[in-house]
Amino acid sequence: MSYFVRKLGFYLVALWAALTLNFLIPRLMPGNPVDVLLAKLQQRGGIVDAATRRSYELLLGGGTDEPIWVQYGNYLVNLAKGDLGIAVSVFPTPVSEVIGQALPWTIALVGIATILSFILGVGLGAIVGWKPGTWLDSLVPATTLLAAVPYFWLALILVLIISSTWQLLPGMGGYDVVLSPGWNTEFILSAIEYGTLPALTIVLSSIGGWLLGMRNMMVSTLSEDYILTAQAKGLRNSRILGGYAARNAALPSIAGFAISLGFVVSGSIITEQVFSYPGIGSKLLQAVQNSDYALMQGIFLVITLAVLGANLLVDLLYGIIDPRTRARS
């Protein structure tokens, strides 16, 4: 039990730390939403004078005089109530609505891409590691090079070639805007079509890490005694590869997978920027640029919960796939 109690304790502390950081950071940041919105209005040819400023202050609520700990208390109470506040950058929409609208896109695109690159990377890694020293090993430096390329650089070049020059796949947006979002085939096909290129770039740039890690673990695992035993037992190679070698070698990768799953939410900023993809990353950028504290806090909360949730999930999963964990605690 203590394994789970300790884990739970860790998650609570991590959550509390994240929430507190979440509370503090925006308050330490420069700029306030009134000024930013005014500046934005002015840029767009709006009239800005003292009256405008006054009205915006009234609307958005200026700085509060409450002591910081009262604010902190209110913040925690509101969070507990599920009230994330109002996103001033899209005033008066509640933060939860903004996030609710953006989150599915990110989760679908980056989540699927992450899972895909994990499966492909670990799968290829297992194959490469199964017969190390063969030509397959040359996959390793190749994928490493891909991983070392700045992601947006790769993405932009791919967009230029695949999307702009060859016109194979759309390189902008989340779906054909002519269609209405909904659970119909046409829309889903369109979403898949639009998501292919972004997903491809994510997979390309992240597959190398999985592949290398898995390959090295395979090599180590293959020299374990139980692999030799399995061979002596006359098991088929497929069974040894799947049930004995890869099964054990994949354990560290799975832990890594948890962490990367958690970062699905936050890792999408650049992707969404390059591909004009709707999602949480662009919302975060929007929040930061508009000093939209509430939105920022809301997104952080979601990210932290995602990371913690994914970790928790894998901790539990780990207990199942690696029976030793439960004993080790």
Partner 1 sequence: MTALTERAVRPVLTVEDLSVVYDVANPVTAVKNVSLTLAPGEILGLAGESGCGKTTLAYAINRLHKPPARISSGSVTFSDADGSDIDLLALSDEKLRAFRWSKLSMVFQGAMNALNPVISIAAQLDDVLRTHRPGMSKAERRARGQDVLQRVGVDPKRLNSFPHELSGGMRQRVMIAMALILEPQVMIMDEPTTALDVVVQRDILREIIRLRDELNFAVIFITHDLPLLLEISDRIAIMLRGEIVELNSGEQIYRNPQHPYTQKLLGSFPSLTGDRGDFIRTGDHALTGDNR
Partner 2 sequence: MTNLTPTTEPSVADADEALAATAREEGRKPRAGWRAMLPSMTPSLVIGFGIVAAIVLFGLLGPLFVQDPTTVRNSGLQPPGDGHLLGTTQTGQDVLAQLAFATRGSLEIGLIVGVLATLLSAFFGVLGAYLGGFADEAFSLFSNVMLVIPGLPLVIVISGFVPQEQRGLWTIAVVLAITGWAASARVLRAQTLSLRNRDYVAASRVAGERSWRVIAVEILPNLLPVIASQFVFAVIFAILSEAGLAFLGLGASNSSTLGTMLFYAQNGFALQLKAWWWFVPPGLIIALLGCGLSLINFSIDEIINPKLRNVRAHAKRMRIARKAAAR
Partner 3 sequence: SASGSGSSGGSGSGSASDTLVAYTGQAGDYQINFNPYSPSTIGGPGEIFEPLFYYNQLQSGDPKPLLGTEFSWNEDGTVLSVTLRDGVKWSDGEDFTADDVAFSLNLLKENPAVNAIGFDGEVAVVDPTHVTITFPAPAFVNGPSILGRTWIVPEHLWKDIDPATDVVAEPVGTGPFVLGEFKAQAFRYDANPTYWDGEPELKHVRYVALSGNQAGADALAAGSIDWQTGPVPDMANVEKNYPGYKAVTVHMNQVALFTCSNAELGCEGPQTDPAVRQALYYAMDRDQINSLAFQDTAAEVSPGFALPERDAALLSDSLPEQTAPMSPDVDKATQILEAAGYAKGSDGIYAKDGVRLAMSVRVVTGWTDYITAVDLLAQQAKAVGIEITALQSSWNEWTEVRGLGEYQLLIDSVTQGPAADPYYMYNEFFSTANTGPVGQSVNPGFARFSDPEVDAALAALRTSNPTDVESRKPHYDIIQQKIAANLPYIPVLTGGTTSEYNAAKFSGWPTEEDLYAVPAVWSRPDSSQVFASLTPTGK
For residue 74, what are the contacts with CB-CB under 8 A and spacing of at least 6? 66
Residue 266: name its binding partner from partner 2, partner 3, partner 1, none (Cβ under 5 to 8 Å by kind): partner 2
Peptide bond into 278 cis (omega under 30): no
- Draw the binding track, 71-110, toward partner 1 (x: CB under 8 A; -: no contact): ----------------------------------------
Residues between 116 and 155 with contacts to partner 3, criterion CB under 8 A: none
Burial of residue 45, with CB atoms counted within 10 A of its CB: 0-12 exposed, 13-18 middle, 19 or more buried: exposed
The b/e string for 308-327 (b: 16+ C-beta within 10 A; e otherwise) is bebbbebbeebbeebeebee
**From 153, 236, 289, 313, residue interacting with partner 1 (rule: CB under 8 A):** 236
- CA atoms of 157 and 148, how far apart (whole Å): 15
Shortest distance (Å) from residue 47 CB to partner 2: 28
CA neighbours within 13 Å on the CB side: how many for 234?
Answer: 0
Residue 251: name its binding partner from partner 3, partner 1, partner 2, none (Cβ under 5 to 8 Å by kind): partner 1
Taking CB under 8 A as the binding criterion, the range among 57-65, 113-121, 237-245, 249-257 that sits at the site for partner 3 is 57-65
- CA atoms of 153 and 149, how far apart (whole Å): 7
Residue 7: name its binding partner from partner 2, partner 3, partner 1, none (Cβ under 5 to 8 Å by kind): none
Amino acid type, 306:
A
CA neighbours within 13 Å on the CB side: how many for 314?
Answer: 18
Give the interface with partner 2 as residue ranges (CB under 8 A). Answer: 10, 13-14, 17-18, 21, 25-26, 28-31, 132-134, 137, 140-141, 144-145, 147-154, 156-157, 160, 216, 219-220, 223, 259, 262-263, 265-267, 269-270, 273, 284-285, 288, 296, 299-300, 303-304, 307-308, 311
Say if CB 127 and CB 136 are below 8 A apart.
yes
The b/e string for 150-169 (b: 16+ C-beta within 10 A; e otherwise) is ebeebbeebbeebbeeeeeb
Taking CB under 8 A as the binding criterion, the range among 36-44, 111-119, 125-133, 208-216 that sits at the site for partner 3 is 36-44
Between helices 185-222 and 112-130, what is the axis angle to 10°? 30
**Cβ nearer to partner 1, comparing 244 with 257:** 244
Residue 247 binds partner 1, judged by CB under 8 A:
yes
Residue 131 binds partner 1, judged by CB under 8 A:
no
**From 235, 254, 308, 312, residue interacting with partner 1 (rule: CB under 8 A):** 235
Residues between 202 and 261 with contacts to partner 3, criterion CB under 8 A: none
Residue 225: name its binding partner from partner 2, partner 1, partner 3, none (Cβ under 5 to 8 Å by kind): partner 1
Residue 322: name its binding partner from partner 2, partner 1, partner 3, none (Cβ under 5 to 8 Å by kind): partner 1
The kind and range of the H/E element at 122 are helix 112-130
Residues between 72 and 101 with contacts to partner 3, criterion CB under 8 A: 87-93, 97-98, 101
